[in-house]
Amino acid sequence: MLHGYAASLLEGTGLTLAVAAASLAIACVLGLATAAARLSGSRLARALGAAYTTVVRGVPDLVLMLLVFYGGQMAVNALAAQLGYEGFLDIDPFVAGIATIGFIFGAYLAETFRGAILAIPAGQREAGLAFGMGRLQVLLRITLPQMVRLALPGFTNNWLVLVKSTALVSIIGLNDMMQRAGQAAGATREPFTFYLAAAAIYLAITTVSLLALRALEKRYSLGVRLAR
Amino acid sequence: MNLEAIGESLPSFVEGLQVTAILLAAALALGLAAALPLAFARTSTRAWLSKPVWLFTYVIRGTPMLVQLFLLYYGLAQFEAVRESVAWPWLSSAWFCAIAAFAINTCAYTTEILAGALEATPAGEIEAARALGMGRATVMRRILLPSALRRAIPAYSNEAIMMLQGTSLASIVTLLDLTGAAREMNSRTYLPFEAFLTAAAFYLALTFALVSLFHLAERRWLAHLAPRR
């Protein structure tokens, strides 16, 4: 049915998952840092965090991706020329892709994390401090473990949107599942078949993610009384 | 920053802005119109009515909009029956495919938002209406819809903003929307920062416009929930 392109599609799926996982790692780091900045006492940090989350959420992924890909290319080469390098540097679409997607979803995750931290009663933090824990200890022992449970529903949503966003990396030339589907579609003249296969693979990824994250949510909600 | 080049390309950005606005308005209007009956079906107790709608929203929300767009724009040409049908001039146009793909996509998300709002209707309100002798249709028109539509406004504003960002995909199927204007300027002038930052500024302005529009709507229709001043 797939005229022998199944293996190629699966290989591309691997790349899609790699892009998604790498972007998620970047996004988590950025998201935590930004959530911390937005909750910090420094007015500058709060303003920077707010500007980042507002601007990124107001501009399409595709525009940011093209900006990083083409603009980054130019910036890197200008910098290299300044340093006396004479050749031409190509930006790797994988790096541009995960940098952009990580940067975008850092903003979304920051809001998820911030909301989760705000939902932890302040008394818990105060109790930790009263017991003589340091601020870092309070963060690691009190805030983060509880934040995971509260952030999971939002995190699930963010992850599902992120996975779907990775389809855009095919536009900047990465040989992901989407682009392989396009190549197969062109070679066999059966675009519907191959884009349908791509859709099925994305659906499989989102379904598995949904089930896994739901199980995780259950695990983290052990000991929490549910009103039911 | 080469401001002169931005100034020269400004007319094409303004045209792109119009294309983006038309795509957004058409997709949202069609999506919302289709989502209303689907939301009632989704909340129906009859499985043959609610299950297919659930499947539709699940599949659409589980796949990237880019794939949906490509299935319509490139995929349909695979079938000879489609190519020879009278509708082919429409089905092969980028405008039609983009609006159709965006409308189907936003319809799925809007259906879930509305279904959630419908299900959040307090049971007592419906019981009271039935006790007053209202029929099914009257309850729907007078009780369910007005309060569910109000409750859906905050979530729907997020969906509308996501849709605005989604319209940038139209540039991939050759339409010259805001992103298309930026891509065209980039390939013509080789000034990526100027091109894409200008587009980003336009999108940001559109996002803020949408946000304040929905704030007005909330002030108008959700005034009873606002904190007392």
Query: A52 pLDDT exceeds 70?
Result: yes
Position B124 scores a pLDDT of 92
CB within 8 Å: A189 and B78: yes
**Is residue B225 one of the residues assigned to a domain?**
no
% of chain A residues with pLDDT over 70:
99
Q: What is the DSSP letter of B45?
A: S
**pLDDT tens per residue across span A187-219:** 998 999 999 999 999 999 999 999 999 999 888
Domain extent at residue B34: 20-178
Query: A101 pLDDT exceeds 70?
Result: yes
Domain at A6-220: CATH architecture: Orthogonal Bundle (1.10)
Q: How many residues does chain B have?
A: 229
CA dist A56 and A103 (Å) reads 8
CA dist B215 and B153 (Å) reads 9
Position A89 scores a pLDDT of 77
Query: A36 pLDDT exceeds 70?
Result: yes
Domain count, chain B: 1
Scanning the structure block, which residue is given the tokens 């209303």? B36
Q: Does A71 touch chain B (CB under 8 A)?
A: yes
- Chain B residues with beta carbon closer than 8 angstroms to that of A185: 74-75
Query: A228 pLDDT exceeds 60?
Result: no
Model confidence band, residue B60 (pLDDT cutoffs 50, 70, 90):
very high
State in Å, rounded, how far the first CA of chain A is from the last one.
48
CB within 8 Å: B203 and A189: no
Query: A225 pLDDT exceeds 80?
Result: no
Question: Which of A63, A185, A199 has the CB atom closest to B203's CB atom?
Answer: A63
**Is residue B195 one of the residues assigned to a domain?**
no
What average pLDDT does range B76-82 have in this prediction? 87
**Is residue B47 one of the residues assigned to a domain?**
yes
- Contacts by A187-190 with C-beta closer than 8 Å and gap 24+? A187/A5, A188/A3, A188/A5, A189/B78, A190/A3, A190/B78
**Is residue B133 one of the residues assigned to a domain?**
yes
What average pLDDT does range B56-82 have in this prediction? 93
CA dist B129 and B1 (Å) reads 63
Position B214 scores a pLDDT of 94
% of chain B residues with pLDDT over 90:
81
**Is residue B32 one of the residues assigned to a domain?**
yes
Query: B82 pLDDT exceeds 60?
Result: yes
ipTM for the predicted complex comes to: 0.90
CB within 8 Å: B196 and A55: no
CATH number for the domain harbouring residue B64? 1.10.3720.10
Position B193 scores a pLDDT of 93
Query: A84 pLDDT exceeds 90?
Result: no
Please tell me which residue, B172 or A84, carries the higher pLDDT value. Answer: B172
**Is residue B207 one of the residues assigned to a domain?**
no
- Chain A residues with beta carbon closer than 8 angstroms to that of B172: 62, 171
Position A227 scores a pLDDT of 61
Query: B32 pLDDT exceeds 90?
Result: yes
Model confidence band, residue A91 (pLDDT cutoffs 50, 70, 90):
confident
**Is residue B200 one of the residues assigned to a domain?**
no
Query: A93 pLDDT exceeds 90?
Result: no
Position B92 scores a pLDDT of 87
CB within 8 Å: A66 and B196: yes
- Chain A residues with beta carbon closer than 8 angstroms to that of B180: none
- Chain B residues with beta carbon closer than 8 angstroms to that of A59: 165, 200, 203-204, 207
Query: B39 pLDDT exceeds 80?
Result: yes
Query: A150 pLDDT exceeds 80?
Result: yes
Query: A123 pLDDT exceeds 80?
Result: yes
Position A159 scores a pLDDT of 96
What average pLDDT does range B70-76 have in this prediction? 93
CB B163, CB B32: distance < 8 Å: no
Position B157 scores a pLDDT of 94
- Chain A residues with beta carbon closer than 8 angstroms to that of B203: 58-60, 63
- DSSP track, B111-169: HHHHHHHHHTS-HHHHHHHHHTT--HHHHIIIIIHHHHHHHHHHHHHHHHHHHHHHGGG
What average pLDDT does range B81-90 have in this prediction? 87
CB within 8 Å: A73 and B192: yes
CB A211, CB B90: distance < 8 Å: no
Position B229 scores a pLDDT of 64
Position A32 scores a pLDDT of 93
Q: What average pLDDT does the structure give for chain B?
A: 93
**pLDDT tens per residue across span B195-213:** 999 999 999 999 999 999 9
Q: Say which residues have a Cβ less than 8 Å from residue A45's Cβ, sequence separation at least 6.
A: A37, A38
Domain ranges of chain A: 6-220
3-class SS at B13? helix
**pLDDT tens per residue across span B171-182:** 999 999 999 999
What average pLDDT does range A158-180 have in this prediction? 93
